[in-house]
Chains A and B, each alone.
Chain A
């Protein structure tokens, strides 16, 4: 027995020791070599190896991708390390958090030539501190099977009708990014100065038995009845790209998406990349941002991150053309307005819906 324990202890010391060695050699020195650029991003980031290899072949620069949690947490980390960042480029700040990022001066300006192919409405920052890379629309999804022979909701207002009682599940805007986007959609649709405000709307949704979950996973997989959902609510707040995802990640091949999109009341989220102030390799960072706007990278985006490319010349995969509808006039609110009101809106929402 003693030998076992002694072995265990030796193992402990040795592994701890090895660990320290590892640090000194692998993670010890921050990247300064011209040959490496570090990209800090959220956990949902995904890109094909061949695409990154293409960048390396063209520029001689290796890309090191560092994921660090959910988009909001990653931004907060970038703010905490402002001026002394762990990476050169940050990807994944969206328009709901943009003001906070800009106010904290975490980025340095860079105007990429690739912006020529990006529609103006995606270019939110006139000082070019951030570059739009992709966009996605947060939209209501419905279970086609549950609405077989019935009419799915056409507008946000429809959801307050008795016909849709106990059908909707939404994410809590205080803990979830699509949840916040949906709240913003309702604020944009039923503004404070209208006769029927978003306060009234949410009170009516509550009266119509809306279900609130903490995050997208629980809403979609736990409560929603359509597609891969295991619950019994036929309407959920998700993305315009969710139906293609249902088709692509179906267990058995499908000819048709099991879920549909309500194109009214969609909120547009734009994701940006920027060069972090204090980056050890700003030149390589600029090249990476150019590359992120290139068709090679842009066409790789939809099937990996299930959002739409910002570059209008990028071709969409067939699933995105066939199984979803993009909203004609997605909603959005100015980032500065969001930043000024976010906390108050969330408090008011909580009072109306939860308490």
Chain B
């Protein structure tokens, strides 16, 4: 099945044209800025300085930080997979009321500011927490928060492929005498492997660069490279050391991604994908009902718990429950200065997310087409390069924009930088959602189309596009959500108050004391959740299945 010999070869020019869009995007807004800031940091005054390298490489604390970054990310990834895979199965194979809404709602944690989630976790597992166990300052709180934030990545990426797997394959194995477990591990798991690997790589990168969660829930004793880069840049103003750490972070990410993409390419299996609607059924047996109930209950506890705390706090005023905090959102300071314009913030966030998703789709789909068709070293490097922004510190990207984008046009204080920064992080989601499905599209379908006289672009449009539409919607949903929730890079881009986004507004409220400020931050967070769930839900509506369509 790995045989490429009968493949419809795209002309090299077509591939080059497709690759040109993502390459120029990454070149201008990732490689050039990041290279510029690293050179600025590593060559202070124009000549190379080895001292910061020596400082980092001989500092046992910093090496400990690197090690902690790696292992906590690995454990978080495995744990997220273990917790979320049953969810992916249930969402792929069963129909139940409210399923679509729930799947959209599961992305909500993904966009929440870590400070807000942090205080919600503290309310649950902090001192005198509602759950009665104290986990703050421990690795357990960090792991739980990482599962909370990344559950949707596995649910949606793996669930996307799983819902198209032909159940006949597993049934056949079962009828040949394989146990349920054996049928799963020997048939289903290998078929799912590309999607699992895709989800795992994203979760890994997210947790590898984890920042707010570590700072808030881990306490002062735990730090990732990301935390250390931020600390060096913000409090120590030590750019050379920050640059060395950023370099180490990127090298680590590159090494991991290279291993991943080798594996990913080998594990892709072409198969007959089925429409999701034909695959999913209502739970029939008792066992199935128990499973569905179990998964939904665990989601309600894990994802619903912290969210419920935030909703409760946004409604709970001193005079009882009500919408007072929501009504006060637009209220200015005593002198009439406008702190937050809630409608404008929502409008800005939605517009930036729309532009970012547009860019991410354009770049991501072109890139995915190149990666899925071309195998070999070059394609692997391309894939790694696309993922790299996800594993790069927001400080590196934000500062990179600043030192690199002053010419030919000075973009350093232009609004477009905000959606561009978001798109950098969103592209991997589109690519990761789409490539496994593209690779699984049976080559014979394409060949048949070509034999019937279809030009390559027509083969792509008529055969691939409908098949990858669902995956594209999943990727677009993520891209939109990533943009809605992005804070780190956005806050570093010089911007007027009129460009304030919802996450920036939340931090603005949390910057000053007062019950009204705290309540308004909670209310703004709930609005962010609602906007996210609604827009992801709407994006998924794009793929309303017609007869035989996906």
A interface vs B, CB < 8 Å? 1-2, 4-5, 8-9, 11-16, 18-20, 22-24, 26-30, 38, 40, 43-44, 46-51, 64-70, 72-73, 75-77, 79-81, 84, 86-87, 97, 100, 172-177, 180, 212-218, 220-223, 227-228, 230-232, 238, 242, 245-246, 248-252, 259, 300, 303-304, 306, 317, 342-343, 346, 350, 353-355
- Judging by beta carbons under 8 Å apart, are B318 and A48 in contact? no
Q: Does B79 contact A (CB under 8 A)?
A: no
13 more A-B contacts (CB under 8 A) besides A15-B354, A73-B234, A342-B235?
A12-B357, A14-B358, A19-B416, A28-B409, A67-B494, A77-B399, A97-B237, A174-B220, A217-B115, A230-B122, A303-B333, A303-B335, A304-B333
Q: Does B504 contact A (CB under 8 A)?
A: yes
- Judging by beta carbons under 8 Å apart, are B514 and A66 in contact? no
Which residue of chain A is the closest to B241 with respect to CB atoms? A343
- Judging by beta carbons under 8 Å apart, are A220 and B513 in contact? yes
Give me the 6 closest cross-chain CB pairs, A-B, nearest first: A249-B514, A27-B414, A12-B358, A15-B358, A214-B215, A72-B234
Q: Does B472 contact A (CB under 8 A)?
A: yes
A14 to B215, CA, bound (A): 40
Segment at the A interface, from B103-111, B367-375, B461-469, B527-535? B461-469
Closest CB of chain A to B416's CB: distance in Å?
5
Task: Specify which chain B residues have a CB less than 8 angstroms from the CB of A173 in the assembled complex.
Answer: 235
Which residue of chain A is the closest to B328 with respect to CB atoms? A251
A27 to B466, CA, bound (A): 39
Task: Specify which chain B residues have a CB less than 8 angstroms from the CB of A19 in the assembled complex.
Answer: 355, 359, 416, 419-420
B interface vs A, CB < 8 Å? 37, 40, 115, 118-119, 122-123, 126-128, 215-216, 219-221, 227, 230-231, 233-239, 317-319, 324-325, 333-339, 354-355, 357-359, 361-362, 365, 395, 398-399, 402-403, 406, 409-416, 419-420, 461, 465-466, 469, 472, 476, 491-497, 504, 507-508, 510-519, 542-546, 549-550
Which residue of chain A is the closest to B490 with respect to CB atoms? A69
- Judging by beta carbons under 8 Å apart, are A251 and B515 in contact? yes
- A346 and B402 in contact, given A5-B542, A13-B358, A19-B355 (Cβ under 8 angstroms): no
Closest CB of chain B to A95's CB: distance in Å?
14
Most buried by A among B220, B230, B236, B398: B220
- Judging by beta carbons under 8 Å apart, are B335 and A80 in contact? no
Most buried by A among B419, B469, B517: B517
- Judging by beta carbons under 8 Å apart, are A249 and B355 in contact? no
- Judging by beta carbons under 8 Å apart, are A252 and B319 in contact? yes
Task: Specify which chain A residues have a CB less than 8 angstroms from the CB of B495 in the assembled complex.
Answer: 66-68
- Judging by beta carbons under 8 Å apart, are A23 and B416 in contact? yes
A238 to B357, CA, bound (A): 40
- A75 and B220 in contact, given A28-B414, A69-B491, A80-B40 (Cβ under 8 angstroms): no
Within 8 Å by CB of B119, from A4, A87, A221, lies A221
- Judging by beta carbons under 8 Å apart, are A214 and B220 in contact? yes
Closest CB of chain B to A10's CB: distance in Å?
10
Which residue of chain B is the closest to A233 with respect to CB atoms? B127
Task: Specify which chain A residues have a CB less than 8 angstroms from the CB of B412 in the assembled complex.
Answer: 81, 86
Task: Specify which chain B residues have a CB less than 8 angstroms from the CB of A1 in the assembled complex.
Answer: 466, 469, 543-546, 549-550
A5 to B550, CA, bound (A): 12
Task: Specify which chain B residues have a CB less than 8 angstroms from the CB of A86 in the assembled complex.
Answer: 402, 410, 412-413, 494
- A222 and B118 in contact, given A23-B416, A81-B403 (Cβ under 8 angstroms): yes
Most buried by A among B219, B365, B469, B512: B512
Task: Specify which chain A residues have a CB less than 8 angstroms from the CB of B514 in the assembled complex.
Answer: 227-228, 245-246, 248-250
Which residue of chain B is the closest to A231 with respect to CB atoms? B127
A14 to B235, CA, bound (A): 41
- Judging by beta carbons under 8 Å apart, are B416 and A76 in contact? no
Closest CB of chain B to A303's CB: distance in Å?
4
Which residue of chain B is the closest to A45 with respect to CB atoms? B497
- Judging by beta carbons under 8 Å apart, are B215 and A175 in contact? yes
A67 to B231, CA, bound (A): 20
- A15 and B508 in contact, given A8-B476, A64-B496 (Cβ under 8 angstroms): no
Which residue of chain A is the closest to B228 with respect to CB atoms? A174
A18 to B362, CA, bound (A): 14
Closest CB of chain A to B423's CB: distance in Å?
9
Task: Specify which chain B residues have a CB less than 8 angstroms from the CB of A44 in the assembled complex.
Answer: 511-512
Closest CB of chain A to B162's CB: distance in Å?
20
- Judging by beta carbons under 8 Å apart, are B119 and A222 in contact? yes
- A252 and B334 in contact, given A238-B513, A355-B221 (Cβ under 8 angstroms): no
- Judging by beta carbons under 8 Å apart, are A172 and B234 in contact? no
A111 to B335, CA, bound (A): 29
- Judging by beta carbons under 8 Å apart, are A249 and B512 in contact? yes
Task: Specify which chain A residues have a CB less than 8 angstroms from the CB of B544 in the assembled complex.
Answer: 1, 4
Closest CB of chain B to A320's CB: distance in Å?
11
Within 8 Å by CB of B362, from A16, A76, A77, lies A16
Task: Specify which chain B residues have a CB less than 8 angstroms from the CB of A75 in the assembled complex.
Answer: 237
- Judging by beta carbons under 8 Å apart, are A26 and B235 in contact? no
Task: Specify which chain A residues have a CB less than 8 angstroms from the CB of B414 in the assembled complex.
Answer: 22-23, 26-28
- Judging by beta carbons under 8 Å apart, are A342 and B219 in contact? no
